[in-house]
A and B are shown apart, each in its own frame.
Chain A
């Protein structure tokens, strides 16, 4: 199984890149990659050929979705005596335009876009990673691109950077 591990090893830099763009935080990204590697190694006996790279992307994508669920409502820390906790915080602040544009996308759209433009996966491969038909991948891509364009064009004043 040496080649299995070698294949995983050669994919690590790409996984880090993908995770960084998904999370836009270096630490969280490497945590995701680490979890992905642990799971991949644990599931080595379940892997029956096929494209290891796509499989790793699939694991990482799923782990990231779990992560986002937990952050969907960032917990608000309050004293135990405080009975009226305020609502969750707003969108994350800071970062460059493209980062913020990515941050505002729905996870499925961001994932589809990054797998295509950053990781160079084919539509078919992305469909397998996301477990959806190719048509769904394409509509996710289309919506992602439309929203990023609108954001960068400044059509979303609520989200525009405050100068």
Chain B
């Protein structure tokens, strides 16, 4: 121990390593370490950790920034979202380019894209069902909800009528998906239970219902015609499966779509 200095503290060791130690303590702490090998070893180990971390990840900052992170591009796509929403509010919207999207869907996809999609859908479910005031971005009552999301996701979207399950459509939102924009519809029951339906383009072959369990809720996903769907809801698997089946049947036109509210309107009419 150095007589002329007060003992160094643990916090000061960290501050020394991180360059946060006041100049007037630096000498004292270094003197302390010089005479306390165990502390010195620890401090050296922390410095080595920091160097390993910088050696492992530092070079990422020198990589060229991928196109999708170019600010211009993000700004442009935001403008087009806004423009799409505005246009859709005025003009009845017709889906075009569906075949083009499908053709694009034929390109090779990264492995595990289905799992990634399900994770994203479940993450969105988990995040947004907890939102009291802003669970959705656009309300079901707003006419541009479906045209807007359809355009962004690249297919004709419908929000299935789940009133048979006491589930009312609250609205929807746009999300960044695994391989393009994704739509999330949220439903709520009279007692506050929330279900979500997620849809995104996925260049994967058809997959029948699969069930994924989370700690507090479950999800059923499937892929049909190049689009992935994920229905998430409370843990009751039987009910969730029934909800997913009803959604599937309506989406695939196996049963006529009920037309009780504007939220359920079919907007698949092609042409102008």
Contact = CB atoms under 8 A, between A and B. Distances in A.
Nearest to B20: A123
Interface string B31-59: 00000000000100110011011101110
Interface in B91-143: 110, 115, 118-120, 122-123, 126-127
20 contacts: A12-B65, A17-B57, A21-B53, A30-B69, A31-B176, A34-B69, A37-B69, A38-B78, A42-B78, A73-B214, A80-B241, A83-B237, A98-B56, A101-B49, A102-B53, A118-B54, A118-B58, A142-B14, A148-B49, A149-B49
A78 interface: yes
A21 B210 contact: no
Interface stretch (A49-57, A62-70, A154-162): A62-70
Interface of B: 10-11, 14-15, 18, 20, 42, 45-46, 49-50, 52-54, 56-58, 60-63, 65-66, 68-69, 71, 74-75, 78, 110, 115, 118-120, 122-123, 126-127, 176, 208-215, 219-220, 237, 241
Contact of A75 (B53, B57, B62, B119): B119
Nearest to B51: A117
A141 B14 contact: yes
A41 interface: yes
A138 interface: yes
B74 A38 contact: yes
Interface extent on A, as a size class? 35 or more
Interface residues of A, dominant DSSP? helix
Nearest to B244: A80
B54 to A, nearest CB: 6
Contacts of B20: 122-123
Nearest to A16: B60
Interface string A95-135: 01111011000000000011011100011000000000000
Given A75-B119, A138-B11, A123 B18 contact: yes
Which 8 A-B residue pairs are closest in the complex by CB-CB distance?
A: A70-B123, A75-B212, A117-B50, A13-B61, A17-B60, A98-B52, A17-B61, A21-B57
Given A69-B123, A79-B210, A145-B46, A16 B69 contact: yes
A79 B123 CA distance: 21
A38 B70 CA distance: 11
B127 to A, nearest CB: 5
